[in-house]
Homo-oligomer: A and B are copies of this chain.
């Protein structure tokens, strides 16, 4: 049966408030989930503020969702009632293309994002995780290891996988030197993940304000880039650099800090675009690449690693009524390091 549930939706670009949402009845492949926690991602803010294009309001955002299975469809084999589960940025895809077959569903041109997309199951607009309950096809539900607290696990489903996927794809591991630009929601999880994968990790931040925390979370080095001369000593050092900053960075200096065949992966998605010198990338045969969250199997691999190595994002748990204020603090980088909404407060 379909179900009316409480949720917090953006009713205007600037305001989030309690609304009622109708969730479809689970079909044979669906998992019904009582949501416990929902992380706040910068993408939620870009979306409701229509910075990435128009959306239909009200819209319930949230794609870092954890909870407990409350019911399953009759064909569901992967989950049972009571399991701890998560839902990330996707709830479906075409399942037929090479991207889907190769576990890279996030690049499938038919993938269905968790909020604001047309759901092929019932034609409705998908509504995200800032709500008490969600119904998702089992193929897009993740298993959360029991030793990962559900509140701390939530940000792994977007911030975490956005860092794990490029680390995994570009073969981070023992002996590899990884640089992470920006030490916020994504950056701090990136440090913990890269360290757990055996890499030598350097954080690049504008100031030294968070240096102590950076080293505490496992960074081998923490470099303040306000003085660009620091790059003089970094030539040809890194195998992988991941940029999490959504603003202009000194791109050529970072590219020159890569070893031959190294890659700078941008996940910062600045709307200003990226500029670089053709000579910088030619003289060392280095790559500039992009990366978008991660595939389902890859996300599961990360969650299992986080359970095994006890890796948790740093979070501040908030009530639903605090969402708008939390957004303002995210925009001012006044969060250490990720807000997570306690759904019991809805």
Interface residues of A (CB under 8 A from B): 98-99, 104, 107, 109, 169, 236, 260, 263, 266-271, 273-292
Contact = CB atoms under 8 A, between A and B. Distances in A.
Given A269-B278, A269-B282, A273-B276, A263 B287 contact: yes
Contacts of A291: 282, 285
Question: Can you tell how many copies of this chain the complex includes?
Answer: 2
Nearest to A289: B287
Contacts of A266: 278, 281-282
Contacts of A287: 263, 287-289
Contacts of A284: 107, 290
A279 B270 CA distance: 8
Nearest to A283: B292
Contact of A274 (B98, B99, B276): B276
Contact of A290 (B273, B286, B290): B286
A292 B280 CA distance: 11
B281 A288 contact: yes
Given A99-B260, A277-B273, A289 B286 contact: yes
12 contacts: A107-B260, A263-B287, A267-B282, A268-B278, A270-B278, A271-B278, A282-B291, A282-B292, A285-B292, A286-B290, A287-B287, A287-B289
Nearest to A165: B285
A163 to B, nearest CB: 13
A233 to B, nearest CB: 15
A47 to B, nearest CB: 14
Contacts of A285: 104, 107, 169, 289-292
A277 B275 CA distance: 9
Contacts of A107: 260, 283-285
A263 B263 CA distance: 12
Contacts of A289: 281, 285-288
B290 A283 contact: yes
A345 to B, nearest CB: 33
A3 to B, nearest CB: 34
B274 A278 contact: yes
A263 B274 CA distance: 16
> Ordered nearest first, which 6 A-B pairs have the shortest CB separation?
A281-B290, A282-B290, A287-B289, A287-B287, A288-B288, A282-B292
